Chain A
Amino acid sequence: MNVQVVNLGEVITNENESIRGHGTFQKDGNLVSSVAGIVHRVNKLVSVKPLRSRYHPEVGDVVVGRITEVLRNNWKVDIGARHDAFLGLSAIILPGGVQRRRTSTDEMNMRNFYKEDELISAEIQKINYETFKISLHTRSFKYGKLSDGQFVTVPPMLIKRSKSHYLVLPNGVLLILGCNGFIWLSIPEESELKIKKISNWFISTTTELQELEDEINENSNKSIKDKNMDLETNNFDFYKKKEKMITKEQRLEICRVRNAILALSNSFLPIYPTSIMLVCKKSIEENINPKEMIKQKNMIILTSEVKELIK
């Protein structure tokens, strides 16, 4: 691999034609790196990306965040970026799907929607680069309050931006991959989801991989439609924490997926449904139960197939 690794203070180039990007500064007519990392060149734009950094938000990203504060007409959400994001009162769905102007009664009832320390999934609506204010919105049925599940954190660069971040895996686990590295695992609403036993997966050829991805998309879309129907019925039920009945097998599957994610993050491999399922399948083949998946030697075994796939 042809990459240029630079150290802090190392001269990258001394051409005056290069445009200074992130991670560089000018000194004595030279372009010097201000971080230790890899040089990226796009035409004349030269930038240095450090190997580890915080989440850098982009408009349209799906993120998972935790409510830190309830303010007058918005909520402050921690998304692991340089600043906390804001979720405005006008940017959420009102119960019943009603479209109206938010009144002072709504401002009083803010805690009935979201309270401090609750997890939500949302999309980044806009970023004001001058004040660095990140605005979120939950104007879709797949976003909103997250409950009855498990939360995992991984480095944000492992999650690539893709078409859908709200996914239902074939083993019945709901997966929300936040672009900020915050991941939510849960069980989707009951419906006719095609839940296959992991031992029945065949993920060897590319056609089978494609079939599996199609299945995931189908299941995910079904789950979103169910949420839609649920919304129109009751008043604040959309925002109430639902106590789902989660069976022991479902909990085991959630743990398996969570440990698969941790194994991938340990080897710094990209996290997307195919890689997670490859690790899960390998764990079944090798008879490693979820509790032992996070042991160092097991993690190496589990991620070997994914490493081959990446190369």
Chain B
Amino acid sequence: MEYVNQEGLRIDGRRVNELRKIQCKLGVLKRADGSALFEQGFTRVLVAVYGPREITQRRKKLHDKAIINVEYSVATFSMTRRKKTSKRNKISQEIANSIRKSFETVIQLELFPSSQIDIFIQVLQADGGIIPACINASTLALIDAGVPMTDYLCSCSCSFIDEENLLDLNHLEEDSGGAIVTVTLLPEYNKITLLRVYSARIKMKNFEAILKLGQNGCQRIADLMKSAIKEHTINQVNSRGIL
């Protein structure tokens, strides 16, 4: 199968270094402290954030900072074939764990001792780049909840297929057998908090170029998220009766 044709166009008509269309909706769930619906192409993720609130798992209580509890679940209707995945299986737990560790670097946990912040992630449509979408959606939901953070956390996926560095893969490109690199970046500091390489091995000579492409993609996603938040905040200020 040809992933990049002679004109340099991919399966969905994008160029090699183009991101998919991104849409952010904030405050979608009324009962949650913060919520966000994030769409990157056909990948849709819904995140609800609760907290900081009273800790429920006493064993994990920390006296000097808050703990983050991430729950990652994939809807049965989200993939091409109906598949029931448990929240407790090893893959979901590993993904939840890595997301939790990324957010521990940005959220100011020392401000909330003996509390917990819950991030509940629900993948509604899975069309490649699921984990980056989860991280981006979680960032937006945390900002909506008013949880103080030192920076945004932006993420995107890239790969090396057909002799080209591709940015923001959809699920056909992910299933191609090439190595998938997921980069999670702090845009202001330009520092990587989470880097995953999976599905196949990658040559060292290609790695640096892919990493740079991934970082570039994350910066562009950061700009999009910032403008979405700014717009949402200004809308809320204008539509409210009081400040």
**Chain A residues close to B by CB (< 8 Å):** 1, 3, 5, 7-9, 23, 25, 27, 34-38, 50-54, 78, 82-84, 131-132, 157-158, 267-270, 306-307, 310
The A contact surface, by secondary structure, is loop
A179: shortest Cβ distance to chain B, in Å?
Answer: 15
Give the top 5 A-B pairs by smallest Cβ distance, nearest first: A50-B146, A269-B241, A34-B148, A53-B146, A268-B240
Q: Does B23 contact A (CB under 8 A)?
A: no
Which single member of B27, B114, B230, B242 contacts A270 (CB below 8 Å)? B242
Between-chain CB contacts (< 8 Å), 5 pairs? A9-B187, A38-B243, A54-B53, A306-B241, A307-B241
Write out the residue numbers on chain A whose beta carbons fall within 8 Å of the beta carbon of B242: 157-158, 268-270, 310
Inter-chain contact A7/B233, CB cutoff 8 Å: yes
A36: shortest Cβ distance to chain B, in Å?
Answer: 5
Write out the residue numbers on chain A whose beta carbons fall within 8 Å of the beta carbon of B226: 7-9
Q: Does B192 contact A (CB under 8 A)?
A: no
B219: shortest Cβ distance to chain A, in Å?
Answer: 13
Inter-chain contact A82/B145, CB cutoff 8 Å: no
Write out the residue numbers on chain A whose beta carbons fall within 8 Å of the beta carbon of B34: 52
Write out the residue numbers on chain B whose beta carbons fall within 8 Å of the beta carbon of A307: 241
**Chain B residues close to A by CB (< 8 Å):** 27, 33-34, 51-54, 108, 112-115, 143-152, 187-188, 226, 229-230, 233-234, 236-237, 239-243
Inter-chain contact B108/A25, CB cutoff 8 Å: yes
Inter-chain contact B236/A51, CB cutoff 8 Å: yes
Q: Taking A35-B143, A52-B144, A78-B54 as contacts, is the C-beta distance between A8 and B241 under 8 angstroms?
A: no
Complex formed: what's the CA distance from A111 to B210 in Å? 64
Inter-chain contact A3/B54, CB cutoff 8 Å: no
Inter-chain contact A268/B237, CB cutoff 8 Å: no
Write out the residue numbers on chain A whose beta carbons fall within 8 Å of the beta carbon of B239: 267-268
Write out the residue numbers on chain B whose beta carbons fall within 8 Å of the beta carbon of A25: 108, 148, 150
Write out the residue numbers on chain B whose beta carbons fall within 8 Å of the beta carbon of A7: 226, 229-230, 233
